[in-house]
Amino acid sequence: MTADTTRPLSAPAARPESARLFARATDLLPGGVDSPVRAFGAVGGQPVFFERGDGPRVWDADGNAYIDWMCSWGPLILGHADARVVAAVTEAVARGTSFGAPNRREVELAALVRDAMPAVEMMRFVSSGTEAAMSALRVARAATDRDKIVKFRGCYHGHTDSLLVDAGSGALTLGIPGTPGVTRGAAADTLVAEYNDLASVEKLLDANRGAVAAVVIEPVAGNMGVIAPAAGFLEGLRTLTTAHGTLLMFDEVITGFRVGPGGAQERYGVTPDLTVLGKIIGGGMPVGAYGGRRDLMAMVAPSGPVYQAGTLSGNPAAMAAGIATLRALAEPGVYEQLETTAAALEIGLLDAARAAGVPLAVNRAGSLLTPFFTAGPVTGYAGAMAADTERFGAFFRAMLDAGVYLPPSQFEAWFVSTAHGDAEIEATVTAARRAFATGA
């Protein structure tokens, strides 16, 4: 812990350089950002421009320090600029950033993934979670010769057309249930079920017999805030999909190597046919992957007819970051440490809220958590929607001014890293107490 986090918790930070950059950015980039939630639209105020990160902390363009619980939306499970990751990437980059030809690191990372997730018998690396989900869907449709898919209200799988219907994350945060530019055909092929409601899935599968290629789910919902699967829910999906000849696709872009080394499929003991990965397996570099049963993945070109390709896929820099991250996560005690840190944060936030009489429900799955401003419980989409987003916005702004950077939306996960410890929790809970005391 350096002296930076001991800066006064109550002094609103001046951010003139961020303001100047944002003014320029709005002229150059739509909304001034390259991804919608970054714009602070749901919480008010102006986005903070980051200059650098180290461990659990980031510094903005004006030199203000923040404890970062957003951690680039999940990839940075080791915190910012982890020395092992930096060394691996530096070494790789010095030998060339991209070959557009096979390199040994792809093989090494694939082996590490399969060791941890045996159901991912074969995989293909791509450059984002969006690309991975889109490509996995193509395989599912090709394998089943069916067009329709079932997804869940509030779940997010990247911005490919058919998965944007009733999507979570930025679409939910900004109140965009569908988006212009998605064809009617894509929307019509997407059936929407309710998370943690098996009957809603059964109804759709029954009404669309022989037509549904895949049921696609975040096994722990993370993009309407964190919601864990109810007992029996994922098992029920496995049984239903098998009975209907429909593939079960787990989007583990967030949960992969996060809720445990083998992701949600290991934590909850349910084996999907296809798995979508991203974030942690790229250690903070642009990466995604999709994989699963050998017979399904063998359909992907060039071994099969399903076309999918990528100029930068499997590039050595991203592979090196992923390998270094997965190796670090394989050290003994890492997931126990993450669990302990996240549990302490959960308890601290709950205590602070209780003391101030603020209704707060904290949902947590391993090192993912979301404090919902509602008495709860939050077990599905409707429960999440009951949260007080105005109050979250006030809380977010108070925390930001106290030097704590949170995901700028009520409907997102906070990401705990191995770099976070007692000092960060104490500072965060102290800031939360003050925020609650002032009505935020």
Active site (catalytic) residues: 156, 251, 279
Q: Which is nearer to ligand PLP, 383 or 407 (CB)?
A: 407
Stretch that binds ligand PLP, among 111-119, 138-146, 215-223, 302-310 (CB under 6 A): 215-223
First vs last C-alpha separation in the chain: 27
| Alpha carbon distance 150, 258 (integer Å) | 25
Stretch that binds ligand PLP, among 79-87, 93-101, 151-159, 207-215 (CB under 6 A): 151-159
Strands 247-251 and 368-372: unpaired
Q: How far is the CB of 257 from ligand PLP (least distance, A)?
A: 13
Residue 376: both structure tokens together: 């709860």
Taking CB under 6 A as the rule, which mask of x and - marks residues 81-120 in contact with ligand PLP?
----------------------------------------
User: Is residue 218 part of the contact set for ligand PLP (CB under 6 A)?
Assistant: yes
Q: Which is nearer to ligand PLP, 64 or 363 (CB)?
A: 363
239 — alpha (psi -120 to 50), left (phi > 0) or beta? Answer: alpha
Three-class DSSP category at 3: helix
Q: How far is the CB of 222 from ligand PLP (least distance, A)?
A: 6
Residue 396: both structure tokens together: 């977010």
| Alpha carbon distance 398, 432 (integer Å) | 8
Q: How far is the CB of 150 from ligand PLP (least distance, A)?
A: 16
User: Is residue 128 part of the contact set for ligand PLP (CB under 6 A)?
Assistant: yes
Stretch that binds ligand PLP, among 126-134, 200-208, 237-245, 393-401 (CB under 6 A): 126-134
Q: Which is nearer to ligand PLP, 47 or 219 (CB)?
A: 219
**Which member of 167, 254, 317, 432 binds ligand PLP (CB under 6 A)?**
254
Buried b (16+ CB within 10 A) or exposed e, 364-379: bbbbbbbbbbbebebb
Q: How far is the CB of 279 from ligand PLP (least distance, A)?
A: 7
R_g of the chain computed on alpha carbons: 21
Residue nearest to ligand PLP (CB): 129
Stretch that binds ligand PLP, among 77-85, 125-133, 267-275, 294-302 (CB under 6 A): 125-133
290 — alpha (psi -120 to 50), left (phi > 0) or beta? Answer: beta
Residue 282 phi/psi, 5° resolution?
-110, 0
- For ligand PLP, the binding residues in 157-176 under the rule CB under 6 A are 157-158, 169
| Alpha carbon distance 125, 285 (integer Å) | 12
Stretch that binds ligand PLP, among 1-9, 85-93, 155-163, 356-364 (CB under 6 A): 155-163
Neighbours of 396 (CB within 10 A): 25
Q: Do 55 and 80 touch, CB atoms closer than 8 A? A: yes
Q: How far is the CB of 157 from ligand PLP (least distance, A)?
A: 5
Q: Which is nearer to ligand PLP, 159 or 434 (CB)?
A: 159
**Which member of 79, 129, 256, 383 binds ligand PLP (CB under 6 A)?**
129
Q: Whose CA is closest to 86, among 331, 321, 416, 420? A: 321
For the chain, give the number of residues: 440
| Alpha carbon distance 283, 142 (integer Å) | 31
User: Is residue 251 part of the contact set for ligand PLP (CB under 6 A)?
Assistant: yes
User: Is residue 156 part of the contact set for ligand PLP (CB under 6 A)?
Assistant: yes
Three-class DSSP category at 293: coil
Residues engaged in binding ligand PLP (CB under 6 A) = 73, 128-130, 133, 156-158, 169, 218, 222-223, 251, 253-254, 278, 288
